[in-house]
Amino acid sequence: MLNSSARFLTCFFPAVWILIIFCGPLHAQELVAERAIFRDPTGEMTFEQVQEKPFFQAEKVFGEGFTRSAIWLRVTVDSGKDDRPLVLRVLPATFDEVRLFSPVHDGTAPPPGTTSGKLLSEATELLDGQAGRRVYYLRIKTSGSMLVSTTVETREQFYRETLFRAMVLGAVLAGSVLVILAAIVLVVRRREFLYVLFLNNFVVSVLVFFGWFGYLKEFFGVGSAIGSAGTFSFLVMANIFTGFLFFREVLERFDLPQSGRRIFTVLFMLYIPVFSVFFLGDRQTALSLATLWGLLANIFFLPLTVYLFYRKKLVAWYIPPLILLAVFLLTRTFLIMRGTIAPDASMMSMMAFRLFAFSSFFFIVMLLLDRDKDSRLQKSLLKEAIARSRADLEKQRRIMQQGLMTMLMHELKTPLAIIQLAATTLGRRLPQDTGDAVRVRNINRSVDDLNALVERCLQADQIEYGETLIKKTVFSANELVRELVETMGPTRTVVLEDAEFTVCCDHHYMRLILQNLLSNALKYSLTGSMVTLALQSTRISGGDAVMLSVSNVAGPIGLPEPDRIFSRYYRSEGARAQVGAGLGLWLAQELARQLDSEVRFEVVNQQAVFSFALGLA
């Protein structure tokens, strides 16, 4: 539905533009022979005083920017021999004050009592029908941008023009209803701030369009607050502000850098005093500042848009040029409103509709962006499905690998047990001081190393696949240490005890941690040196605890790398001559974490010290 709406709008609004540009001038015959302006800086000059001042030629549409001066416009009408009534049209229909002064015939003075002028309350005024040349004076004051368009038409021309404008109004209403409904659908379905901003900006743009051509006055009455110049000024400011926020949110879709966000934040903060000034009563200053900030924002948009779209092309190739074109035309609109550049002949009749068309245009861009987002989402879902499939395959592979490893480990244990039994039996029959007895002891030592290696591989698999089960019991840490030292190396291990420590944890895991640390220290310490296993009082998390540490003098291979020492399969270059898989310290660390502790490594007086703490029971 949304893509269909985008295609409809893509064709609908260019068609309306063509209707306005090519059909509008066909039924407009120019009756104004000359337009001239005079700037009254005080805004208080009388008609008699102005007549003596020099007037300068003006175009059909002219712009003076934001000025506190009153503009006097002299319009010379030449209707030839036709004495039918004429209709004067002044746009936009949002000026603070427009006064019409009676015509001067052939350069003579106006009739008595007409020099005060007639206050015009609507955008059109019926003029007396007189043949020949007539001169009218208009005095215009506004707190908005002094952008003026005047036409004088016959009644027939006026009716045709009114009918044409009604056609345009109908097209705008039809299109705006479609756009608003589509925007509401987007807001409800997507619940994204971008679409809320667009909906706000679009509704305000349509209201600006109605106000510009005087439809708000017609709908709500000339004296209503909604149709007043103050309300229109506020709508213009709101249109600029919401458009600014909308642009910012669009660029956010394309990875707006942090520096760009900061600049947007500064521009956003600048609008706060603008609205304050507006509500304090100085509308012209507020509008001038609002258009200035809008101009600065658009100047900032141009290079930023180029940078974003060509740094990371996320959408179709034609979207960046379209947005750049829109930003350029909006910048040109701001320059015209400020009087920096002259407006073209169609500016007054097209300005408000351009705002509407730009909003609709960006709505189309949003739909295209949304479609591109859906495409990226589909690709993401496809990648996710592929990744999930690969993960399932990997899981199955690892399960099979785990089963294979378990089977191999168990199968290895049987021949190792047979070898060890045979070697032990043979060793008992041989004299202890012979070479064969030494070789048998070496066989037993190698079998012990292989058994330890197999056991560590099994323990590593259990930890990796989450098969560890904590069974806490209360026992003496001192007795565990003495028993372990007695079986592993009583001749090279010194036990230091501050006191008797009773802990509540998993007995098997604690023994494995100490076994791995002590085995590592005995294997890699200096030959003949002593290894120290100490139990000391400490405190962790505000409670009493025991610190268990294993320290040894570094052997020929030197000290390990602190950053990698607990990595799985890590072995230093010098340690590769020893039997091992690089799992001992990794296992000790993982098991310690299962017991809510952590093994720490430090070097003290050229000694490697491994320690971990456990809370007391």
Identify the residue whose tokens are 């791995």: 516
Closest CA to 176 of 352, 344, 44, 294: 352
Work out the burial of residue 308: count CB atoms within 10 Å of its CB; fewer than 13 is exposed, 13-18 middle, 19 or more buried.
buried
Question: Which pLDDT score, from 0 to 100, does residue 55 have?
Answer: 93
Query: Could you write out the DSSP letters of every residue in 530-591?
Result: -EEEEEEEEEETTEEEEEEEEEEEB-TT-PPPTTTTTSTT---GGGGGSS--S-HHHHHHHH
Count the Cβ atoms, other than its own, within 10 Å of residue 97. 14
CA 452, CA 570: separation in Å to the nearest integer?
Answer: 17
The three-state (H, E, C) secondary structure of 219-284, written as one string: HHCCCCCCCCHHHHHHHHHHHHHHHHHHHHHHHHCCCCCHHHHHHHHHHHHHHHHHHHHHHHCCHH
Closest CA to 144 of 29, 315, 341, 286: 286
Give me the count of residues in the chain.
Answer: 617
Please report, as a single letter, which amino acid is at residue 359. Answer: S
State if pTM tops 0.85: no
Q: Which helix (H) or strand (E) holds 4?
A: helix 2-18
Question: Which pLDDT score, from 0 to 100, does residue 25 have?
Answer: 44
Question: Which pLDDT score, from 0 to 100, does residue 140 have?
Answer: 93
- Report pLDDT digits (tens) over 215-271: 888 888 777 888 888 888 899 889 888 888 888 887 887 778 888 888 888 888 888
Q: Do residues 9 and 363 make contact, with C-beta atoms less than 8 angstroms apart?
A: yes
Q: Which helix (H) or strand (E) holds 612?
A: strand 607-615
Residues linked to residue 602 through DSSP beta bridges, in sequence order: 609
Return the SS3 of 504: strand
Q: Do residues 76 and 135 make contact, with C-beta atoms less than 8 angstroms apart?
A: yes
Task: Tell me: cis bond preceding 110? Omega within 30 of 0 counts.
Answer: no
Please report, as a single letter, which amino acid is at residue 81. Answer: K
Tell how strand 531-540 and strand 70-78 pair up: unpaired
Query: Could you write out the DSSP letters of every residue in 588-611?
Result: HHHHHHHTT---EEEEETTEEEEE
Closest CA to 290 of 208, 211, 402, 169: 208
**Paired tokens of 555:** 């052997």
Query: Could you write out the DSSP letters of every residue in 171-228?
Result: HHHHHHHHHHHHHHHHHHHH--HHHHHHHHHHHHHHHHHHHHTTHHHHHH-TT-STTS
According to DSSP, residue 107 is labeled: T
Question: Which pLDDT score, from 0 to 100, does residue 70 have?
Answer: 92
Identify the residue whose tokens are 């009388």: 46
Work out the burial of residue 49: count CB atoms within 10 Å of its CB; fewer than 13 is exposed, 13-18 middle, 19 or more buried.
exposed
Q: What long-range pairs does 604-608 form, CB within 8 A, spacing at least 24?
A: 604/551, 606/553, 606/554, 606/559, 607/551, 607/552, 607/553, 607/554, 608/521, 608/524, 608/551, 608/552, 608/554, 608/559, 608/560
Question: Which pLDDT score, from 0 to 100, does residue 111 have?
Answer: 53
Angle at which helices 319-337 and 229-252 cross, to 10°: 150
Query: Could you write out the DSSP letters of every residue in 121-171?
Result: -SSEEEEP--SSEEEEEEEEE-SS--EEEEEEEEHHHHHHHHHHHHHHHHH
Residues in the chain with pLDDT < 50? 1-3, 5-7, 10, 17-18, 21-27, 105-107, 112-114
Please report, as a single letter, which amino acid is at residue 32. Answer: V
CA 334, CA 288: separation in Å to the nearest integer?
Answer: 10
Work out the burial of residue 533: count CB atoms within 10 Å of its CB; fewer than 13 is exposed, 13-18 middle, 19 or more buried.
buried
